[in-house]
Structure 1
C-alpha cells in the first residue's frame, strides 16, 4: 500500500508542477530538478541539478541491475534444460552466463522500441500463465499445511523478502511516462489501483504457492521448480525467450540516460559507431557483474532495498513535501509532515537494513 501511495504522490506532485511551469509533461529527473529550482528551500536551488543526477543514477542502477538479473535467469533456464536433457554435463552457472555475452550484445544493438514493445504484451500473457501454473504445480507438490511454515524465519530472510517483493512490484521509472501519455491523466489513480491490484495478486500467488509447494528448495525463476514434462519445458523455454527480449527493453531506457551525458564528448558524425561501442561495453560489463554475483535472489533484494527505497519512498516523499510546502501550509496540515516522516522513515529503514542484508548475501553466496 505504501508503494502505491508513493506512486500516487509522485504523479500528483507532477500534475501540480505542470500548472506551475506551464508544461504538459515531465520525466522523473525533470520533476526532481524542477521541484528544487522552484521550491521553498533557497539553499537547495543551486543544487537542483545534483538531485536530477541522483535520480538518473538510481534509475540506471535499478534498470541495469535488472538486466543482470535477467541474464542469470536466462542462463539458469538454459542450464537446466540442457542438463536435464543430458545434452551437456553439469557446469557452473557462470559459464552459461558468460555464453550469453554475444546474444545479449546483439539484441542490445536494437535502437528502436517499436521492434521490442510487442514482446511486452506476450510477456504479460506468459506471466499470467506462469502464475496459474504455479498455483497448479505448487498446490500439487505441497506436502504440508501452509500454517506449518514459519511466518518469519530470521531478520536476514525478512529483509531479503522485502527487497524482492518491492523489486517485483515497483515500476517507479514508468509511472510518469504512463501518466504523460494518458488521454485523461486525472484518471491515473484509478488506473494505478487497478494495475497494482493485478500485479500484487500475481506476485502473491507465485510467492505463496511457490513456497508452499517447494519450500526452502524453491529456486528462481519459479518455472525451474516445475516437473520435467512437455508443458513445463515449453513454459521454461518461452520464459527464457521473453526475458531475453525484456533485457533489451530494460537496457534501452538507462542506456539513453547514460548516452545523453556521454555523447557530448564525441563527434556527432561518429555517433552511429560510438553509440554501438558503448552499448557493447556496457552489456559486457553487466555480464561480468552477473558472473561475479549470480545469486539473483540477493541481487533482486539489493535492487529492491537500495534503488526502490530511494525511487519509491525517499524521493517521492521529499518531492511532495517540497511541492506542497506552502499549499495550504504546514501550519494547517501538520499531518502532511507526519506522513512525510512515516514514508521517508520507512524508506531509510529499508535502504539501510535491507541493503546490508542483501549485500551480505551477495558477497557470501557460494552460487
Structure 2
C-alpha cells in the first residue's frame, strides 16, 4: 500500500504561498532527485567544509576569550562543546527539512525563509498554514537584525583598533587620550569608508578578500596561543567559575561566535553531493568548536582579567603585533561588507518594487548608504562589542539556531507515515525549551548591558561597562 501525501487542492485554500506539493506519494518524494535540477559549478566536500567554517568563524571568534573570562574557564569549556554539538544537530535537522521540502515541491533549492514558509504553507491544518507568510517575514527580520547587528559590532572592533594604534596605549577607554577623539568619534569618522565598501553590489569582488581574512584570523589564533605560553605558562590566576548570570552572558557570546545559521542551507544548496551534508556539518563543527576553543581559552590564559575584544587589542604595541592589528582591522572591515550583503538584499527585496525600473539601481545605492549610517548610529549609541554580541546571540540566534529548526522539522515531518508523533513533538519541545529560555532570560541580561553602554566611559573587565563617575555636589 502506497502512503499518500495530501495534494495542494486538499490543503488550505487560502494559502498564497508559491510552494505547492508536487510529489503525490511518499515513494515519489523519496525517489525525486533534486540534484538533477541544480545547475552550475558545485562545491566538493572539502570546499563545503571550508565555506561552513568561514560562515561561523568571523569576527565573533575574536571575542570568545572575553566570554571565557565572563563565565570562568570550567563552565565555558563544557558549554563550548555542548552548544557546538547542540547547534550542529539543530542545523542538521534544518537541512534535512530543507531537502525534504525540495523533493516534495520539486524545486532545486530553498533558502532558510523559503523552508520556513513552505513548512507552514503545506501543513494540512488551515490554522497553521495561514501563518506561512508571517513566519517567513519573521525569519527575515531576525536574520537581518542578527547580521546588521554583527556589522555594528564589527564597526566597533575596527574603531577600537584604530583608536589604540593612534593613541599607542594598551589601556582601552572610551574617552580619547592626548587630545585625540573618543571612540564614538572614531566610529563616526569611519562611516564614509564603510559606506564605500558596502556600495559594492557584487559578492564576487569581496570573495578573494574574504579568503585572506580567514588566513589573518588563523594567524591571530596562533599568536594567541604563543602569548598564552609566554605570559602564563602555568595557567595561573584563572577563575574556575563565576555565577549563573555571567554564564547567561557567556551563552550569548559563545553562540554568536559559533553559529553559521545564515550559511548552513546555502552551503548545502551548492554541494555536488548534498546527501553527504551530514558529514560536512559534523566535520565542520568539530573544526569550528576547536578554533573557538583555541582562541577563547588561550586568549583568557594569556590576558586573564585584562581581556579586550577583538583579541588583538591585547597584543603588545611592538611592530609585528601592530601590523597584525592593522590586518585584523582590514579583515573585519571586509567581513562587515560580506555580512552586510545578504541582509541588505533581503531588505531591498521588499523595497525594490516601490521604485521605477530605471531608478532601482540608484535607489539601491542610496539605501545601502542609509543603512550603513543607521548601523553606525547603533554602534555609537552602544559602544560595547561584547554586549552587542551577547544580545544578538541570545535574541536572534536563539531563534535561528534553536527554536526555528525544531519548529520547521515538526511541521515538515509530522504527517509523514512511520513517525512517532508524540516523540516528535516532545523532542522539539525539549530542544526548543533551552532556546526559549535564552531568548527571554539571556536577552534581558544582555539588554541591560546594552543600556548601561549608553553611559559607558571605561570598560571594566573585557568590554563590560561601568557608568561614568558622578560629579560630587559642591561642599561634599
Where on the TM-score scale, by shorter chain, does this alignment land: which range? over 0.9
Q: Alignment RMSD, CA only?
A: 1.7
How far did 1:179 drift? 0.5
Aligned pair 1:363/2:451, yes or no?
yes
Residue matched to 2:101: 17
Cα distance in 2 for residues equivalent to 1:355 and 1:32: 23
Matches within 5 A, 1:268-307: 268-307=357-396
Give a deviation string over 1:315-360, Cα, whole Å, max 9, x none. 0000001111022355x35433222112110100111111111111
How far did 1:85 drift? 7.5
> Does the aligned pair in 2 maintain the 1:83–1:89 contact within 8 Å?
no
How far did 1:138 drift? 2.3
Number of aligned positions between the proteins = 365
Residue 220 of structure 1: SS of its match in structure 2? coil
Residue matched to 1:41: 125
Pick from 186, 193, 199 the counterpart of residue 275 of structure 2.
186
How far did 1:35 drift? 0.6
Residue 187 of structure 1: SS of its match in structure 2? helix
Gaps of 5+ in 2: 1-84, 171-176, 458-476
Matches within 5 A, 1:67-78: 67-78=151-162
How far did 1:122 drift? 0.8
Pick from 242, 254, 267 the counterpart of residue 153 of structure 1.
242
Residue matched to 2:330: 241
Aligned pair 1:326/2:415, yes or no?
yes
Gaps of 5+ in 1: none
How far did 1:144 drift? 5.8
Pick from 326, 343, 364 the counterpart of residue 431 of structure 2.
343
Cα distance in 1 for residues equivalent to 2:443 and 2:356: 40
Residue matched to 2:40: none
Cα distance in 2 for residues equivalent to 1:299 and 1:141: 29
1:142–1:90 Cα change, 3 Å: farther
Matches within 5 A, 1:300-315: 300-315=389-404
Residue matched to 1:100: 190
Matches within 5 A, 1:82-101: 82-84=166-168, 89-101=179-191
> Does the aligned pair in 2 maintain the 1:70–1:244 contact within 8 Å?
yes
Cα distance in 1 for residues equivalent to 2:452 and 2:332: 27
> Does the aligned pair in 1 maintain the 2:414–2:421 contact within 8 Å?
no
How far did 1:88 drift? 6.1
Cα distance in 2 for residues equivalent to 1:289 and 1:329: 50
Pick from 209, 213, 218 the counterpart of residue 128 of structure 1.
218
Aligned pair 1:250/2:334, yes or no?
no
Cα distance in 2 for residues equivalent to 1:339 and 1:122: 41
Cα distance in 2 for residues equivalent to 1:96 and 1:315: 38
Higher helix fraction (1 or 2): 1
Residue matched to 1:137: 227
Residue matched to 1:2: 86
Which stretch has the larger CA shift, 312-321 or 269-278?
Answer: 269-278
Residue 340 of structure 2: SS of its match in structure 1? helix
Bigger-Rg structure (1/2) = 2
> Does the aligned pair in 1 maintain the 2:414–2:424 contact within 8 Å?
no
